[in-house]
Amino acid sequence: MNPAAMDSDDLSPRRRPARDANAVIPTGVLAMLMFVACEIMFFAGLISARFVASATQAGWPPPGQPRLPIGTTAFNSLILLGSGVALYAAQRALSQGGGGWRVVLSRLRLAIGLGGLFLLFQGAEWARLLHYGLTLQSSAYGSFFYLIIGAHAVHVMAALLVMALVYRGLARGRIPVSRFWAAQVFWYFVVGLWPVLYVLVYLV
Amino acid sequence: MAVAAALWLPTLGAFACPVCFASKNESRVAYYVTTAVLLTLPWVMIAGFGLCYRSLARRKEDPRPPAPNGPPPESADSDS
């Protein structure tokens, strides 16, 4: 990490300017929005399949299958939502110029850390559920749970990787700020999707 | 006409359609609702993006819109 870039409190001149600075929506953000739209349709398809499958079953959850941990997952949801708030605070510091790069990067670190914590909790929860007998093969209930929540977890991992790369790029002053916005769109999608999945998979 | 009738009549016997002849009413409702959601969602996203883009484009053209009931902006060549 470049100490000169880290020590600077200046929010703009050191950063590499974007080539599409005059565009209404930067190209990277537009591409990310299109990707997110595709992902929304992907998850809508999974949720639809789960609802059609549950409607054809005699009971949902099927008898003999463990119930999903609603309370601990609600707490975990708060962690992920907190990560989204931290990223929003980083964006506010970036756009308003309050506090300089130190504040932006520290809030970005917090967002990444909370996202990692969410994944760790999810992993622990999955280990517990596997121990109780809920597997991919145990029932359609288990299959859809691991498919939908697993797909979301993969997206969280990918978004964390993107955020880490953006953090490194911003800290070194090597990438334009529009890359941060693109990563932000991805992270907001991951965070915003989770409450929907929590309600539709865990509660309904 | 005969060709159209020949194409149309066999479809009347398609009793294997899982949507129309699902055994449970809940299944049929689930099919209809999920189909409606999946058909509507892309249009909602496209419309949302269009509205958002228009708003951003207008904001970029005119970054500071005048306040609706605020005082008029002071100018150098005003009488007062």
C-alpha torsion angle, residues A101, A102, A105, A107 (rounded to 10): -120
All residues of chain B having their beta carbon less than 8 Å from the beta carbon of residue A56 are 22, 24, 27
Which residue in A162, A58, A77 sits closest to A117, CA to CA?
A: A77
**What is the Cα–Cα distance from A81 to A78, expressed in whole angstroms?**
5
Q: What is the mean pLDDT of residues A2-28?
A: 60
Q: What is the mean pLDDT of residues B40-57?
A: 94
Question: Could you report the per-residue pLDDT of B12-42, keeping only the tens digit for each?
Answer: 555 566 665 556 778 888 888 999 999 999 9
Residue A7 pLDDT greater than 60, yes or no:
no
Is residue B35 within 8 A of residue B17, CB to CB? The reply is: no
Residue A6 pLDDT greater than 50, yes or no:
no
Q: What is the DSSP code string of A140-152?
A: HHHHHHHHHHHHH
Is residue B11 a part of any domain in this protein?
no
Is residue B50 a part of any domain in this protein?
yes
- Residue B48: count other Cβ atoms within 10 Å of its Cβ: 11
pLDDT band at B43, cuts 50/70/90? very high
Residue A5's pLDDT is 44
Q: Considering chain A, what is the average pLDDT of its residues? A: 87
What are the sequence ranges of the domains in chain A?
A: 89-204
Residue A22's pLDDT is 75
Is residue B7 a part of any domain in this protein?
no
Structure tokens at B14: 């398609």
Provide the percentage of residues in chain A whose pLDDT is more than 70.
88
For chain B, the domain total comes to 1
Contacts of A79 (CB under 8 A, 6+ apart): A114, A117, A118, A121
* Residue A9 DSSP label: -
ipTM topping 0.85: no
**What is the Cα–Cα distance from A114 to A90, expressed in whole angstroms?**
14
Residue whose token pair is 């100018």 = B75
Question: Could you report the per-residue pLDDT of A54-93, keeping only the tens digit for each?
Answer: 888 878 888 888 889 999 999 999 999 999 999 999 998 8
The backbone torsions φ and ψ at residue B34, rounded to the nearest 5 degrees and listed phi first, read -65, -35
pLDDT band at B69, cuts 50/70/90? low
Please check whether residue A56 touches B, CB under 8 A. yes
Please check whether residue A48 touches B, CB under 8 A. yes
Structure tokens at A140: 């359609």
Structure tokens at A81: 């939502």
The helix-helix angle for A70-96 and A177-197 (nearest 10°) equals: 160
Cross-chain residue pair B53–A40, CB shorter than 8 Å: no
Residue B66 pLDDT greater than 60, yes or no:
no
* Bigger pLDDT: A16 vs A106: A106
Q: Considering chain B, what is the average pLDDT of its residues? A: 73
Write out the residue range of the structural domain in which residue B53 sits: 17-61
Candidate from B30, B33, B45 with C-beta closest to A37: B45
What region does A123 belong to: left with phi over 0, alpha with psi -120 to 50, or beta? Answer: alpha
Residue A32 pLDDT greater than 70, yes or no:
yes
Is residue B75 a part of any domain in this protein?
no
pLDDT band at A178, cuts 50/70/90? confident
Residue A60's pLDDT is 83
Question: Could you report the per-residue pLDDT of A98-136, keeping only the tens digit for each?
Answer: 667 888 899 999 999 999 999 999 999 999 999 998 988
Tell me the three state secondary structure of residue A11. Answer: coil
Residue A51 pLDDT greater than 60, yes or no:
yes
CATH architecture of the domain with range A89-204: Up-down Bundle (1.20)
Interface test mutation site (partner A, options B26, B44, B58, max chain A beta carbons within 10 A)? B26
Is residue A181 within 8 A of residue A28, CB to CB? The reply is: yes
Residue B62's pLDDT is 78
Is residue B31 a part of any domain in this protein?
yes
Is residue B39 a part of any domain in this protein?
yes
Interface test mutation site (partner A, options B23, B24, B45, max chain A beta carbons within 10 A)? B45
Structure tokens at B26: 């809940």
